[in-house]
């Protein structure tokens, strides 16, 4: 069952992906790959993708880390010995380095959220909510790493 927060987050991600695509491109100095003059697919040229696709792929990595956490919660409640602590810690360290330090701080909070706020409208209220979620996530990462 989807909650209102899920719907809001989905709307935000859609809007931010569109609004932030140009900003992220400039900020990351990544080149837009797909050109009308080139018949080959981006992946065939060495894995370069559009900013929007890149952002969605990053979310895919982060979702996988969250799946590890979800699976661990169930096992920790039933039989903690089933959860190797190093696997949880490695996931938390990956989330810290990639999710928090890079994806959240250097992309979303630095470029995408300001662009979404500036664009106004309903979506302009979402960055504050997401920053609060990022901050809470960092507390959880601290706990897991410790
Ligand atoms: Fe994100």
10-residue mean pLDDT series, the chain (146 residues): 52 43 35 42 68 94 96 95 94 97 97 97 97 98 94
* Distance from the alpha carbon of residue 103 to the mean position of ligand 1, in angstroms: 6
* Distance from the alpha carbon of residue 67 to the mean position of ligand 1, in angstroms: 15
What pLDDT does residue 48 have?
86
How many domains does the chain contain in total? 1
Secondary structure of the chain as H, E, C letters:
CCCHHHHHHHHHHHHHHHHHHHHHHHHHCCCCCCCCCCCCCHHHHCCCCCHHHHHHHHHHHHHHHHHHHHHHHHHHHHCHHHCCHHHHHHHHHHHHHHHHHHHHHHHHHHHHHHHHHHHCCHHHHHHHHHHHHHHHHHHHHHHHHC
Give the structural domain span for 94: 4-145
* Distance from the alpha carbon of residue 63 to the mean position of ligand 1, in angstroms: 10
What pLDDT does residue 35 have?
39
* Distance from the alpha carbon of residue 86 to the mean position of ligand 1, in angstroms: 25
What pLDDT does residue 80 have?
95
* Distance from the alpha carbon of residue 82 to the mean position of ligand 1, in angstroms: 30
């Amino acid at each position: 069952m989807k909650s209102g927060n899920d719907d809001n987050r989905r709307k935000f991600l859609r809007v931010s992906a569109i609004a932030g695509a140009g900003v992220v491109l400039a900020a990351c100095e990544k080149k837009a790959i797909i050109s009308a003059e080139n018949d080959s697919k981006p992946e065939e040229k060495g894995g370069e993708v559009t900013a929007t696709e890149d952002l969605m792929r990053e979310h895919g990595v982060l979702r996988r880390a969250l799946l590890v956490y979800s699976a661990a919660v169930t096992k920790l409640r039933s039989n903690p010995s089933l959860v190797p602590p190093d696997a949880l810690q490695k996931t938390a360290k990956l989330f810290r380095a990639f999710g928090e330090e890079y994806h959240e701080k250097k992309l979303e909070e630095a470029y995408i959220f300001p662009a979404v706020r500036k664009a106004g409208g309903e979506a302009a209220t979402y960055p504050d909510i997401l920053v609060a979620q990022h901050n809470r996530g960092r507390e959880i990462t601290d706990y897991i790493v410790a």
